[in-house]
């Protein structure tokens, strides 16, 4: 669970960071396609905090990127640093290991996951990292649910303040928790990551709408043929135990090579890639009555343009509701934000969470993840 309320907020402690050496945990774990950063919002979200940190003596930014199993140039933060500098409009010096000497006001440490000790939550590694600064600033809400060295141990070793965007995200999600009768729209590949949230809100939420691989697994668990579509087989027994009239799953789909098919037409060799138009209309009818709507995860295989229509139509409908000013709409998750940025729609939403798993864990009041 994210520990927030017990720590002081950066906003009220500018004097305490003056002329101090700062280590700041940020999240540059962004979607990159052919060398180009697609997920700029996550980087832009820390700019307000960095502007305040100009008062400090020196800042070392630390982050992870991807899932490298060893030091790999493909995942070196140095390769995307020029784009990060351009997005933030600041000069950043690169540090390739713990022996490198910070030379600029702002410095970026190499991908933390090049060191296995990061994911192992290693105390010795944490102590070495802590030597980079006198004060720790946590501005990586989207990684704050991980029990890793930089997110879990550093706040225990150094005086810690939360960044301005971190604070905004917590306040945003607290507003969701106080809402009554809201609707959750959950998409993406794996139902396992979102099962805690489903279980917690199965009675509190007005509806929980499932899409993508989540819907496939739910339907398979309830006896429907899913063909060769994405399904988490190891979750079928657990999902089968869930029973509620508040859960909505699609009943028509776009199937590779066949177009639109209803649920009872899916064959053993079929592959579902997107939600169908009839299910979308039903979803629109459900969410237009809700005051609060939380959306996390795409409804189809959005990596392929052909199968992104359902997610795009949902985004445009939520934007339409957003303009009415009588709906509180929160969107979050890396894949969702990357899609909205690609379609140049992200600025149409007022309430955005950079967190995917962190957002879900906070709402579900879950403990730290490995």
Separation of alpha carbons 100 and 111, rounded Å: 14
Contact yes or no for 31/142 (Cβ under 8 A): no
CA distances from 60 to 11, 22, 29, 45, 185 (A): 19, 6, 17, 17, 37
Sequence ranges of the domains in the chain: 8-162, 169-364
H or E, element range at 15: helix 14-17
Could you give the CA distance from residue 311 to residue 274 in angstroms, rounded to a whole number? 8
Residue for token pair 């990586």: 140
What is the fold of 8-162? Rossmann fold (3.40.50)
For residue 213, what is the DSSP state? H
Helix (H, G, I), strand (E, B) or coil at 304: coil
Q: Which residues pair with 21 in a beta bridge?
A: 58
The residues, any chain, with a CB within 8 Å of residue 175's CB and separated by 6 or more, are 328
Contact 132, 60 (CB under 8 A): yes
Mean pLDDT by 10 residues, the chain (370 residues): 47 77 95 88 94 94 93 95 97 92 92 96 96 94 93 94 92 90 91 88 90 96 96 95 92 95 96 97 94 95 94 97 88 91 94 90 69
The angle formed by the CA atoms of residues 325, 331 and 332, to the nearest 5 degrees, is 160
With 0-12 CB in 10 A as exposed, 13-18 as middle and 19+ as buried, what is 152?
A: middle
276 in Cβ contact with 266 (< 8 Å)? no
Token digits of residue 240:
């089968």
C-alpha to C-alpha distance for 174 and 327, rounded to whole angstroms: 16
- Indicate the CATH number for domain 169-364: 3.40.50.1260
Written as six digits, the tokens of 54 are 């100009």
C-alpha distance across the termini of the chain, in Å? 12
> Tell me: the pLDDT tens digits for 185-230?
999 998 998 888 898 888 888 999 999 999 999 999 999 999 999 9
CA distance 217 to 369: 22
Residue 273 in tokens: 């890639």
pTM over 0.75, yes/no = yes
Same fold, 8-162 and 169-364: yes
Burial annotation 93-110 (CB, 10 A radius, 16+ → b, else e): bebeeeeeebeebbbbbb
Rounded-to-integer distance, Cα 151 and Cα 119, Å: 10
pLDDT (tens digit, 9 = 90+) per residue, 31-76?
888 899 988 999 999 999 999 999 999 999 999 999 998 899 999 9
Place of tokens 């396992």: 192
Given this model, what pLDDT does residue 3 score? 47
Alpha-carbon span 189 to 296, nearest angstrom: 11
């Amino acid at each position: 669970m994210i520990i927030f309320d017990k720590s002081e907020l950066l906003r009220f402690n500018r004097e305490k960071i003056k002329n101090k050496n700062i280590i700041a945990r940020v999240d540059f774990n962004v979607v990159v396609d052919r060398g180009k950063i697609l997920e700029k919002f996550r980087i832009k979200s820390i700019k307000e905090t960095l502007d305040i940190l100009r008062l400090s003596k020196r800042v070392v930014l630390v982050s992870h990127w991807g899932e490298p199993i060893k030091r790999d140039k493909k995942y070196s933060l140095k390769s995307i640093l020029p784009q990060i500098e351009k997005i933030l409009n600041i000069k950043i010096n690169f540090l390739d290991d713990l022996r490198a000497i910070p030379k600029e006001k702002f410095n970026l440490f190499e991908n933390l996951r090049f060191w296995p000790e990061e994911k192992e939550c290693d105390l010795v590694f944490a102590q070495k990292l802590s030597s980079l600064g006198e004060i720790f600033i946590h501005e990586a809400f989207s990684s704050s649910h991980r029990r890793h060295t930089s997110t879990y141990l550093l706040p225990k070793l150094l005086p810690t303040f939360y960044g301005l965007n971190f604070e905004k995200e917590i306040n945003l999600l607290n507003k969701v928790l106080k809402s009554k009768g809201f609707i959750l729209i959950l998409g993406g590949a794996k139902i396992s990551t979102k099962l805690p949230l489903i279980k917690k809100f199965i009675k509190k939420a007005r509806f929980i709408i499932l899409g993508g691989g989540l819907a496939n697994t739910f339907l398979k668990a309830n006896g429907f043929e899913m063909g060769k579509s994405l399904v988490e087989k190891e979750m079928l027994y657990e999902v089968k135990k869930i029973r509620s009239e508040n859960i909505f799953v699609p009943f028509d789909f776009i199937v590779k090579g066949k177009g639109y098919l209803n649920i009872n037409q899916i064959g053993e060799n079929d592959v579902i890639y997107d939600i169908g138009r009839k299910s979308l209309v039903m979803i629109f009818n459900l969410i237009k009555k809700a005051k609060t709507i939380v959306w996390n995860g795409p409804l189809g295989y959005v990596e392929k343009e052909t199968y992104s229509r359902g997610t795009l139509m949902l985004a445009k409908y939520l934007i339409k509701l957003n303009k009415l000013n009588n709906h509180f709409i929160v969107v979050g998750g890396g894949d969702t934000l990357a899609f909205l940025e690609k379609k140049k729609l992200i600025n149409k939403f007022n309430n955005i969470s950079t967190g995917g798993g962190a957002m879900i864990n906070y709402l579900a009041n879950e403990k730290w993840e490995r």
